[in-house]
Copies of this chain bind each other. A is one copy, B any other.
Amino acid sequence: LTVRALVLGAGGFIGTHLCRALAERDYEVVAVGRSRKPMVCGGNEGAISWVRGNFADRKLLQRALEGCSVAFHLISDTAPALSNADPSADVRETVIATVQFLELAKSSDLKRVIFVSSGGTVYGIPSQVPISETAPTDPLCAYGINKLMIEKYLALYHYFHALEYCVLRVANAFGELQSTHHQQGVIAAFMKATVNGEPITIWGDGSVIRDYIYVGDVVDALVKASEVADLSHRVINIGSGTGMSVLDVANAIQDISAHRLEKCFTPARKVDVPEIVLDIGRAKQVLGWAPSTPWQTAIERTYRWYDLHARDRVREQLGPICLPG
């Protein structure tokens, strides 16, 4: 029996990869996004129905939900560093629309919602690393607050309406297709600068440590979260489980590119907590998931893609975007 899956935020970085992966696994995919259908060559594209529209559009969502047993919620309207400039933007745009979506889900065929939360922001400044899912959640950006709020609403709908859910608190995802907008995605920003022969910008001294996880592994976790029968925990960290400084990342890219990177240091941002490394033990236990793409493989694959799609084509997506393998 074919499973029909709804992907909300299907035109974004993770969303595009997810749709392709689901289609390859013979899901019927209803892909909802604000932009035109992303042109990604290869894969089983025929299995993806593209619905262009806004997540807050009740009628559109109601139609899109028809026959779907699982939904992936990958929507945010802003990004960590920018969210504090208009701290209620995501409340207005995303949280309220999510509650509306959950209300619609009550009277639909939907059995489970998989939500991409933010392992990098919901915890705030951790008192210890690696951070487990039971650590305090004190976000230092509106983006993180809103992710957390949606997590709580999912728990509410599970409690009252038996709607299954799984929250993946994803660390710093990277890989092919990631845009450099919104000051999010340091690897994407560094690679884009490198292939264009521009200096890379480092906030602070480059000692900030993050947990970088390849998008292919994130997609693997998303699919597992939708398929695993017994969700003994519903809030699960997804990361590499290891930390790497921004300088380490810059050096790794320099090694691949064989160029000497010019580093431009700018003042540290208060929104950047010093260290995030996620404890991924629960993901192994509940989902049977662990990252399977070695760092070197992932970073080389990603670099190749940026090199191929150098300059304007990265954003404007003038032609079909080719994903490897």
- Tell me, yes or no, whether A88 is within 8 Å of chain B by CB: yes
- Tell me, yes or no, whether A91 is within 8 Å of chain B by CB: yes
Query: What are 22 sample pairs from A and B whose C-beta atoms fall under 8 A apart?
Result: A84-B156, A87-B102, A87-B153, A88-B95, A88-B96, A88-B100, A91-B99, A99-B142, A134-B136, A139-B152, A139-B156, A140-B155, A140-B156, A140-B159, A140-B160, A141-B156, A142-B156, A145-B152, A145-B156, A148-B149, A149-B149, A159-B270
User: Smallest distance from the beta carbon of A243 to chain B beta carbons, Å?
Assistant: 22
- Which residue on chain B has the smallest CB distance to residue A270? B160
Which residues of chain B come closer than 8 Å to A103, judged between CB atoms? 87
- Which residue on chain B has the smallest CB distance to residue A88? B99
User: Smallest distance from the beta carbon of A91 to chain B beta carbons, Å?
Assistant: 6
Cα separation A159 to B270 with both chains bound (whole Å): 9
Which residues of chain B come closer than 8 Å to A99, judged between CB atoms? 87-88, 91, 142
Cα separation A270 to B156 with both chains bound (whole Å): 11
- Tell me, yes or no, whether A138 is within 8 Å of chain B by CB: yes
Which residues of chain B come closer than 8 Å to A102, judged between CB atoms? 87
Q: In the bound complex, do residue B91 and residue A95 qualify as a contact, i.e. CB atoms below 8 Å apart? A: yes
- Tell me, yes or no, whether A92 is within 8 Å of chain B by CB: yes
Which residues of chain B come closer than 8 Å to A160, judged between CB atoms? 84, 140, 270
Cα separation A136 to B159 with both chains bound (whole Å): 16
- Which residue on chain B has the smallest CB distance to residue A83? B156
> 10 tightest CB-CB pairs across the interface, nearest first?
A88-B99, A145-B152, A88-B96, A149-B149, A87-B99, A91-B96, A140-B159, A91-B95, A138-B155, A139-B152
Per-residue B-contact encoding for A239-265, CB less than 8 Å = 1, 0 else: 000000000000000000000000000
Cα separation A102 to B84 with both chains bound (whole Å): 12
Which residues of chain B come closer than 8 Å to A140, judged between CB atoms? 155-156, 159-160
User: Smallest distance from the beta carbon of A216 to chain B beta carbons, Å?
Assistant: 32
Cα separation A102 to B88 with both chains bound (whole Å): 11
Cα separation A139 to B145 with both chains bound (whole Å): 15
Q: In the bound complex, do residue B159 and residue A153 qualify as a contact, i.e. CB atoms below 8 Å apart? A: no
- Which residue on chain B has the smallest CB distance to residue A141? B156
